[in-house]
Structure 1
Amino acid sequence: DVQSWTTATKQSLCLMWQKVKVHLMLSMTFLVAVFWYCRRLYSFLAQLLKRWSNYLQRKLIRNLSVRTEVDLLGYSAREWKGETKQAKHMREAYEELFWSYHIKYLRQVRRDNYCVLRAVLFQIFSQGIPFPSWMKERDILKLPEKLLYSQGCNWIQQYSFGPERYMGPNAFGKLRKCMETLKTNWTEISATKDHEERGNMCNTLFSDESKEHKLYEAIKFIMLYEVVEAYEQMKNREEPIHNLFSLLLARDSSSDPLSFMMNHLNSIGDSICLDQVELSLLGYLLEVKIRVYRLQRFNTEDFQVNYPDEYRREWNEISLLTEDDRYYQIPLF
């Protein structure tokens, strides 16, 4: 009986093991299949994410109006090949910057008629330079309203926003949006202390063409507003005005604020860039010393010029590099 019971038990255990073994094999096969599927899915998603990241990166680089830094001498060799007199002159100028001024890299700026405004604002934002002192004392959002209503400048309706033609009654509302964009972004970026984070914010901002143009139009309007105030002071013989305004208003093409707007400001961003008088005015209003290396003037006293030529010691300094006084790059020391 004991032997019979032992044999029966062994047979039962064998049958149970066979069933369990089958289930285990099926379970293992299922787990292997799931693992293989998950691995393939992970690989597929990783490749998809990589492609999407590369696409976004290419798109960002393509839209970025201020490119990443490149080697100065490498850029010079690519741009000025050959043995013409001009090519040799430019290569020598770049070598002078490299060896004597310790400029090792440059950032290329999109070549359009906002170029100089873009190069200046990008450096102000990327360096975290705060609002100029006079902007801290006024609400710049109210400047369009003050110019239109308090000072009766109805001709502001003829203001042009770069490539966009006259907006008529809509000019006032659009100017206010431009001022809001400038104030919001300047405040946010200058308050960011981390250099890398601030750089990422600048890259995002300067890859958005619509926001960029609003920044530049806001700066143009601030220039106009200050010219109006200086003109009123001069006309009413109040406190003396800065010689920059005297120089600007002495020109036949900008003898008053309206002619300054119609003959100069309206075309900036569309068909012309800032000239040297306006670049000095820009530096004065933003309270920055703009140092420009003019490569076409290499070996002359005008090779390195400051705008404005008179500035305060506490002002921050930014640098520009130009080959033709029209398009500007950003030198990096």
Structure 2
Amino acid sequence: MSLLATVLWYCRQLYLCIAQLLKRWSRCLQRKFTNNQSVSAEVDLLGYCAKKWKGDTEQAKQMRKAYEELFWKHHMKYLRQVKGDNYCVLRAILFQIFSQGIPLPSWTKTTDVLKLPEKLLYSQGCNWIEQYSFGSERYTGGNTLGKLRKCLETLKNQWMEFSSIKDQYERENRCSTVFIDETLEHKLYEAIKFIMLYQVIEAYEHMNKECLPQFFNLFFMRDSSLDPLSYMMNHLNSIGDRRSLDEMEMFLLGYSLEVKITVYNLSKFNSKTFQGRYTEEPQRDCHEVSLLTEDDRHYHIPVVKI
């Protein structure tokens, strides 16, 4: 074998070795990226059901029937799995808002969301908001306002960016960069929580002056949320840490973000509560988002295809 042939052989072997290493590295990065996604790519709805609910138990049979009804009657062909922590509902709702390009709530046109913390603290005397908890991080004291402003600024900027993107495919690709960053995500969810608190404060201060949605009357009848402070301390502060949203908060979330929330509870198939709608104002031209749950704890996103 000539010297040139030997050199070429070694170069080819080196090339093959490097190509193999790059291929393995690419697969490793792809697996890591996929595993870190808090909202997965679309999977076939009935295929997902068939893998999860095998066997002949009554529960498995009921679940298969429930999934089939979603597929045939409600035109839900795909499913996005959502990371099952205590931000699960907020994550599933916000992902749909961003991926659909839904605009900011109409009330933000007359209210600067970035000034809400100072407005509540100094203009409305709600000095107790300094006891606000950021998920598992509790009672940041004097730093509360600064952290809330950063969270609200992050939410507003991201929301405006997504609503300005006209192409759905581009929006969904952009979502893959947001819903992989845990720190960024938590800022978004804490901002939504604070907006919910703002709406509770506004409703409480106008209970006798304006016609408010009926759920607020029930909201303030609970011993644990007689006023905004008790709601924050007994309910809101623990969202993202020890609990997710309760049914009353689903109404509050839809009202705050101006979306109609529909929840399909598969464990209640063939009952009146199989499909829950969390809106009291059907005449409003609101965008719709949907959730799917099998156990009232973990929520996924059903995807409609007609």
Does TM, scored on the shorter chain, surpass 0.5?
A: yes
Q: 2:213·2:280 contact (CA, 8 Å) conserved in 1?
A: no
78, 89, 108: which one aligns with 1:105: 78
Give the superposition deviation at 1:318. 1.2
Moved more, 91-100 or 223-232: 91-100
CA distance in 2, matches of 1:259, 1:185: 31
CA distance in 2, matches of 1:140, 1:63: 30
Give the superposition deviation at 1:137. 2.5
Give the superposition deviation at 1:241. 2.7
141, 148, 151: which one aligns with 2:114: 141
Question: Superposed, which structure 2 residues align to 1:152-231 within 5 Å?
Answer: 152-231=125-204
Alignment of 1:47 with 2:20, yes or no, is: yes
Give the superposition deviation at 1:212. 0.5
Partner residue of 1:121?
94
Aligned pair in 2 of structure 1 residues 251, 49: CA closer, same or farther (>3 Å)?
Answer: same
Q: 2:79·2:302 contact (CA, 8 Å) conserved in 1?
A: yes
CA distance in 1, matches of 2:246, 2:68: 27
Alignment of 1:247 with 2:218, yes or no, is: yes
Q: 1:148·1:156 contact (CA, 8 Å) conserved in 2?
A: yes
CA distance in 2, matches of 1:77, 1:54: 27
Moved more, 39-48 or 117-126: 39-48
CA distance in 1, matches of 2:12, 2:282: 64
* One-letter amino acid of the counterpart of residue 289, structure 2: I
Give the superposition deviation at 1:330. 0.6
The SS at the match of 1:67 is: coil
* One-letter amino acid of the counterpart of residue 188, structure 1: E
CA distance in 2, matches of 1:32, 1:145: 76
* One-letter amino acid of the counterpart of residue 274, structure 1: L
The SS at the match of 2:141 is: coil
Post-superposition CA distance 1:26-60 (Å, at most 9, x none): xxx88767766665555454434333322221111
Q: 1:295·1:321 contact (CA, 8 Å) conserved in 2?
A: yes
246, 268, 272: which one aligns with 1:275: 246
* One-letter amino acid of the counterpart of residue 117, structure 2: P
Partner residue of 1:130?
103
Q: How many residues align?
A: 303
* One-letter amino acid of the counterpart of residue 74, structure 1: G
* One-letter amino acid of the counterpart of residue 298, structure 2: Y
Alignment of 1:70 with 2:43, yes or no, is: yes
Give the superposition deviation at 1:99. 2.0
CA distance in 1, matches of 2:190, 2:292: 23
Moved more, 279-288 or 40-49: 40-49
Q: 2:86·2:242 contact (CA, 8 Å) conserved in 1?
A: yes
* One-letter amino acid of the counterpart of residue 270, structure 2: N
The SS at the match of 1:109 is: coil
* One-letter amino acid of the counterpart of residue 72, structure 2: W
Post-superposition CA distance 1:243-280 (Å, at most 9, x none): 23222112111010001001110111111111111111
Larger radius of gyration, structure 1 or 2?
1
Post-superposition CA distance 1:81-106 (Å, at most 9, x none): 33222222112111111222221211
Q: 1:284·1:311 contact (CA, 8 Å) conserved in 2?
A: no
Under a length normalisation based on structure 2, what TM-score does the superposition of the two structures give? Answer: 0.92
* One-letter amino acid of the counterpart of residue 110, structure 2: E
Aligned pair in 2 of structure 1 residues 219, 43: CA closer, same or farther (>3 Å)?
Answer: same
Give the superposition deviation at 1:227. 0.7
Give the superposition deviation at 1:291. 1.4
Alignment of 1:59 with 2:26, yes or no, is: no
Determine what percentage of the aligned residue pairs are the same residue. Answer: 66
The SS at the match of 2:81 is: strand
Partner residue of 1:304?
275
The SS at the match of 1:332 is: strand
Post-superposition CA distance 1:119-164 (Å, at most 9, x none): 1000000111111111133221111111111111111121111121
Moved more, 84-93 or 266-275: 84-93
* Structure with greater helix percent: 1
* One-letter amino acid of the counterpart of residue 253, structure 1: S
Partner residue of 1:263?
234
Q: 2:214·2:280 contact (CA, 8 Å) conserved in 1?
A: no
CA distance in 1, matches of 2:167, 2:128: 43
Q: 1:106·1:330 contact (CA, 8 Å) conserved in 2?
A: yes
* One-letter amino acid of the counterpart of residue 163, structure 2: S
Q: 2:121·2:127 contact (CA, 8 Å) conserved in 1?
A: yes
